[in-house]
Amino acid sequence: MSQVANSRIEESEFTAASVRGFQTLLRGRSGRIGVALVSFALLLALAGPAVAPYSPFAISVGTPVSGPSVAHWFGTDTLGRDILSRLLWGGKSIIILPTVAVLMSSAVGVTLGLWVGYKGGLLDQIAMRVVDVLMSAPPLLLVMIFIQALGTSTFVIVTVVAAFFAPRIMRVIRGAAYAVKTQDYVLAARARGESTTAILLREILPNVTGPLLAELAIRLNFAVIFISTLNFLGLGVQPPSPDWGLMVSENRIILAQAPLATLAPALAIAALAMGVNFIADEMATHLARNVSRDARV
């Protein structure tokens, strides 16, 4: 019974902390703008397919390369496909793939960062030198090499991007854990004989949540832009799949005749990336205020 009660208490505390965090995010102007932009992009991507007037794959539903009309609000592309329908269907990959990549990279980066930051010593030095080497490599070049070698499947894209972000997340979490491990509550946990895993999960991880969330927001922003770039270059999602980045690449040749075919998906990507960036800025600002307040105390 006590374990169930403790579980319920921890769940209640987590829910209350989540609500407080969201309320804090909405207090700042950057946070409100970011939430609005991300909400718009999510609504467009998740609810869009339900209201799309045509199939995103259907060709010759209208005259190729036509401008806006009653039947086709955003016009059509070179194959006569409805631009609005493809726009409404094309946001899922831009949202899902970066999110999965960041979650995968955070699972690896947070685990290793907490471990080496807490242990320190020779393990920490070796791990940081490896991270330095990995972070010094040109990101786009490495990703292009791996994708060309392994193919352009969704799994490869997500895995390669996650592997690229993991060392960066690891470095941030390692620094935060290194600063926390000398606190009294960590030393008390050691004195009680708690295991390393318990100390990392119960004492250190909750106290590095601020830097972690800010870093994840930044990585998500980079992942959106990065995967959109890969799709634009033809190294990600392949035709005829509807995808915002791929739409920009396919329709740039008809920019003068049908500008919305290129500008609409480009603006959708920009809205999502800017929204995540505003949220990251607000979280970083809030974290800096807390650090400053703690320093004064």
Give the range of the structural domain holding residue 230, as residue numbers without chain letter: 91-238+263-296
**Residue 80 counted as domain residue:** no
What is residue 15's predicted lDDT score, i.e. its pLDDT? 45
Q: What is the 3-state secondary structure (H, E, C) of 96-123?
A: HHHHHHHHHHHHHHHHHHHHHHHHCHHH
Dihedral angle, C-alpha 168, 11, 33, 228, nearest 10 °: 40
Long-range (24+ apart) CB contacts under 8 A made by 231-238 are 231/93, 231/94, 233/144, 235/143, 235/144, 235/147, 235/148, 235/152, 235/157, 236/93, 236/97, 236/147, 236/152, 236/157, 237/93, 237/154, 238/152
What is residue 218's predicted lDDT score, i.e. its pLDDT? 87
**Residue 203 counted as domain residue:** yes
Amino acid at 252: R
What is residue 6's predicted lDDT score, i.e. its pLDDT? 43
Which residues are CB-contacts of 78 (< 8 A; sequence separation ≥ 6)?
64, 65, 250, 251, 253, 254
Structural domains in the chain (count): 1
Cβ of 99: how many Cβ atoms within 10 Å? 14
What is residue 8's predicted lDDT score, i.e. its pLDDT? 44
SS3 of residue 276 by DSSP: helix
CATH number, position 204? 1.10.3720.10
**Residue 161 counted as domain residue:** yes
The whole-number average pLDDT for the span 57-62 is: 92
**Residue 187 counted as domain residue:** yes
Peptide bond into 206 cis (omega under 30): no
What's the pLDDT tens digit per position in 223-236? 999 999 888 888 88
Is the pLDDT at 149 greater than 90? The verdict is: no
**Residue 112 counted as domain residue:** yes
What's the pLDDT tens digit per position in 88-123? 999 888 889 999 999 999 999 999 999 999 988 888
What is residue 150's predicted lDDT score, i.e. its pLDDT? 83
- When comparing pLDDT for 70 and 9, which is higher? 70
Is the pLDDT at 151 greater than 60? The verdict is: yes
Task: Find where tokens 């352009």 sit.
Answer: 152
Angle (CA) 258 262 263, round 5°: 100
What is residue 169's predicted lDDT score, i.e. its pLDDT? 94
What is residue 289's predicted lDDT score, i.e. its pLDDT? 61
**Residue 245 counted as domain residue:** no
Query: In 181-208, which ranges are continuous DSSP H helix?
Result: 184-191, 196-198
What's the pLDDT tens digit per position in 8-56? 444 444 344 444 555 666 677 888 898 899 999 888 888 999 999 999 9
**Residue 83 counted as domain residue:** no
For residue 116, is it left (φ>0), alpha (ψ between -120 and 50) or beta? alpha
Please tell me the distance from the alpha carbon of residue 217 to that of residue 37, in angstroms, as a whole number.
14
Please tell me the distance from the alpha carbon of residue 166 to that of residue 144, in angstroms, as a whole number.
18
What is residue 89's predicted lDDT score, i.e. its pLDDT? 94
What is residue 16's predicted lDDT score, i.e. its pLDDT? 44
Residue 81: pLDDT band with limits 50, 70, 90: very high
Most confident of 65-79, 194-208, 278-292: 65-79
Is the pLDDT at 1 greater than 70? The verdict is: no
What's the pLDDT tens digit per position in 170-193? 999 999 998 888 888 888 888 888
- Of 147, 143, 148, 117, the residue nearest 131 (C-alpha): 117
What is residue 174's predicted lDDT score, i.e. its pLDDT? 92
- When comparing pLDDT for 146 and 88, which is higher? 88
**Residue 77 counted as domain residue:** no
What is residue 295's predicted lDDT score, i.e. its pLDDT? 39
What's the pLDDT tens digit per position in 228-279? 988 888 888 888 889 999 999 999 999 988 899 999 999 999 999 999 888 8
Is the pLDDT at 135 greater than 80? The verdict is: yes
